[in-house]
Structure 1
Amino acid sequence: MKKTNVTLRRKVLADGRISLYLDFYPPILNPETNKLTRREFLKLYLFEKPKTRIQKISNIENLHTAELIQIRRQNELRKYDIYSAFEKEQLELKKIGEASFMKYINNLADQKAGKNFAIWISAIAHFKDFLKEQDISFKDINVTLINDYREYLLKAKSRRDTGNVLARNTALSYYNKLKTTLKRAYKEGKLRNDINAGIDSIKEAETQRNFLTLNEAKILFNTPCSSQIVYKISMFSTLTGLRYSDISKLIWSEIEFIEHDGYYIVKLSDIDHCFPI
């Protein structure tokens, strides 16, 4: 493997200052972005044409600091070159373990959209409340912590409905978001142990489903409605059992007529089979 050289370089900025940065060749892996990079900007600046004694002293001090950082980076890289394969692996595991878990779960949430995104954000907010801090690293994630979080969710107050405890199925939804994150992190090698295999689950609460009797349906159909479209959708939903979300996506090509059997809905996005209407 070719050794990496670290060179101190300068870049003239639009405001007349000179920015000092390190140039790595070949490129090195940036632990924050997990991408190869050739530059590390030091946030140290020189005056291109120092006019005062203070500016001259500032140039000398900043340049000296930049040179020390360059030497330190070069020594770090050269020291890494002589590590054994095992030592390098341990260093990588240590670096991964110290990475931010909260940044990771927030990045996953950012990939969601609509209502699902809102649920992820609420789940993360409750996890932060449980931690009583803003961050936690991967190495601090363990079975005991997640089981404690499970117990917290079962007693946690709703952030929207102040004073009321989270509904069990809401707690389950938030808990599953964390489990999804743990599963992905383990798959990507960010967690050394499969935390999901050792944690307890939250049992889904049974929900009561109400159905209209035939007499109740007749009363509904005979009740005046100012909007014909609402009335027709209600009738269609009652007679077919379809949710409004299914009806709103229904297109004519999904309705087929079978002779001697009537009309059927087929290929509906959320339905795996066809049924008569």
Structure 2
Amino acid sequence: MCNLTESKFNLDRRKQKGVEYTPISEQAIHLCGTPRLPEQLVFENLQDSSWISRPLEKWMDAAGITKHITFHCFRHTFATLQLSLGTDIYTVSKMLGHTKVTTTQVYAKVVDELKNKAAEAIKLDENILKENQKILQSN
């Protein structure tokens, strides 16, 4: 279960048997609304963790988003964005609650694939390349 207080997200990690304290940005807190009391859960009245997708489905419908998205998709997006924006893999690993950095490395592979794709994204016209080569050779 998870609690949201003023500046951090408290997550009860059942797999790792402990509580993980993860800081969240001021913007994220603002988007979440009024901070709750420490003993209040972010998603109250859920019978079990599998019910967490129900409020998400309502939010997606309200936003007009028809693509199937799960909370786990948000984890993937979060990790990939953090790595793409320069956050080191160790920090991302800890923010995701991974006990081993190797678990987080799958996201680094996604970022590497994006970099490789980006490197090939710009294609110059062959005529422009030939003109540039002529200019460089004449200097």
* Same-fold call, TM cutoff 0.5: no
Normalising by the residue count of structure 1, what TM-score does the alignment of the two structures yield?
A: 0.18
Higher strand share: 1
Q: Which has the larger radius of gyration?
A: 1
Higher relative contact order (CA 8 A, sep 6+): 2
